[in-house]
Structure 1
Amino acid sequence: MGSLFEELEAREAAARVRVEELEAEVAELSGKLQLAREGLERLRIARETVAEVLAEMMPEVPAVTVDAGQSPASEWVASAYAGAERQVIWVLTVPNWQPGMVSEVLPPVYRDIVEVVADALVPVRAKQIVPRIGLPAETGKIEGTRSKLKRLVERGWPDEDTPGMFTPARRRMAASPNSR
């Protein structure tokens, strides 16, 4: 009869080990679940905060409701989700230049870039602008600034006659009273 009790004890020990392993897995998954929930909550709060800020900034712009599958135009994006739909408030961060428009209408970093280009006596490259606007001369900062410069050129703020060389826009200079 001793062997039956030994077999039961061995099976009990194996079952105990399996229970401990499963409890460890449950604890690990619970930790991962908690981290995922915290990340989800941070994203929800960020989305709501951005929606509130944009609503305060642009109260006169009517909101448009679009299908959740659609993606808005690249430069125009600010959204507040509501269930399966999202409410889109259209905001253009870098407006197209028009006569009489000054750089103060631009976001601060774009304004700084336009002012550096305007103050330069010769055409400038992105890597020359980066330290002048207070950023470290790192590849990422240079590429980000180059991207902003290209966006500004598209909107008529500076010119880029030679690839990578930026100058103040000639049409703005020609329109200013000091250039006559």
Structure 2
Amino acid sequence: MGSLLDAIEAEEAVVRGRVEELETQVAELMVRLEAERERLSRLVITRETAGELLARMAGSDPAEPAREPPRAEEVSPFAGAERRVVGVLAVPKWQPGLEPGVLPRVYQDILEVVGDAPGPVRAKQIVPRIGLAAETTKIEGTRAKLKRLVERGWLDEDSPGLFTPSRTRTTGSPNSP
């Protein structure tokens, strides 16, 4: 009987490792997806602006009525989606003197939860503490935000999926251990 339980525990450890690896890959894909969505949004705006300018240049005859540019809903793949302000960095790179108050509220909440935790935390532990349902989509979205905070120096990720307050930010010195 003991060997069966040992075999099950061994299989569980293997599967748990694969699950964590897949969660890491999904988080990386979420970050890449967001970057590509941002690029697509910029390209759509550029195309719309260029079309408006070309229409104005072609309609230089004062007798010809000015053509109204196409509405965004007709040409944008983001029709009905919330429009983002292009060129504004929602999560700035951390630098000395920069306080969490400059971040959007959800990022401030994430930093607070990570800072209050007794040790490293995972995205699935943070989600309920910031008032979200413990659903896969919410966890992955939060994981992408955590990765962004790591990229910008607000948090550290010493082990895949385990987030802690940034040692640089808490000590104030980029050379601190």
**TM-score, length-scaled by structure 2:** 0.52
Question: For the residues of structure 2 that align with 1:154 and 1:144, how far apart are their CA atoms?
Answer: 15
The amino acid that maps onto 2:99 is V
Distance 1:118 1:147 in 2: 18
Q: May I ask how many residue pairs the two structures share in their alignment?
A: 104
Give 2:153's aligned residue.
Answer: 156
Residue 129 of structure 1 and its aligned partner are, at CA, apart by 0.2
Gaps of 5+ in 2: 1-35, 54-84
Residue 139 of structure 1 and its aligned partner are, at CA, apart by 0.5
Displacement after TM superposition at 1:111 (Å): 1.1
1: CA distance, partners of 2:52 / 2:149: 32
Q: Cα distance, 1:101 vs. partner?
A: 0.9
- Residue of structure 2 in register with 1:106 after alignment: 103
Of 156, 159, 166, which residue of structure 1 is paired with 2:163?
166
Letter matched to residue 166 of structure 2: A
Alignment-derived partner of residue 144 in structure 2: 147
Tell me how large the CA RMSD over aligned residues is.
2.9
- Per-residue deviation, 1:84: 1.4
Aligned counterpart in structure 2 of residue 127 of structure 1, from 112, 124, 127: 124
The question of whether the paired residues in 2 share the 8 Å contact of 1:79 and 1:89 is answered with no
The aligned residue for residue 64 of structure 2 is: none
Aligned partners of 1:127 and 1:158: how far apart in 2? 16
Aligned with 1:91: secondary structure?
coil
3-state DSSP class of the match of 2:157? Answer: strand
Alignment of 1:1-180 (within 5 A): 79=45, 81-82=48-49, 84=51, 89-175=86-172
In 2, Cα distance between equivalents of 1:72 and 1:146 = 17
Higher relative contact order (CA 8 A, sep 6+): 2
CA distance in 2, matches of 1:106, 1:97: 10
Query: What is the Cα deviation at residue 79 of structure 1?
Result: 5.0
TM-score normalised by length of structure 1? 0.51
Give me the whole-angstrom Cα distance separating, in 2, the residues matched to 1:158 and 1:111.
12
Q: CA deviation at 1:100?
A: 1.1
CA–CA distance in structure 1, aligned partners of residues 91 and 134 of structure 2? 24
Greater Rg, structure 1 or structure 2? 1
Q: Secondary structure at the match of 1:84?
A: helix
Higher strand share: 1
The residue type paired with residue 109 of structure 2 is D
> 1:136 Cα deviation (Å)?
0.4
Contact persistence 1:122–1:167 (CA under 8 A): yes
Distance (whole Å) between structure 2 residues aligned to residue 109 and residue 142 of structure 1: 13
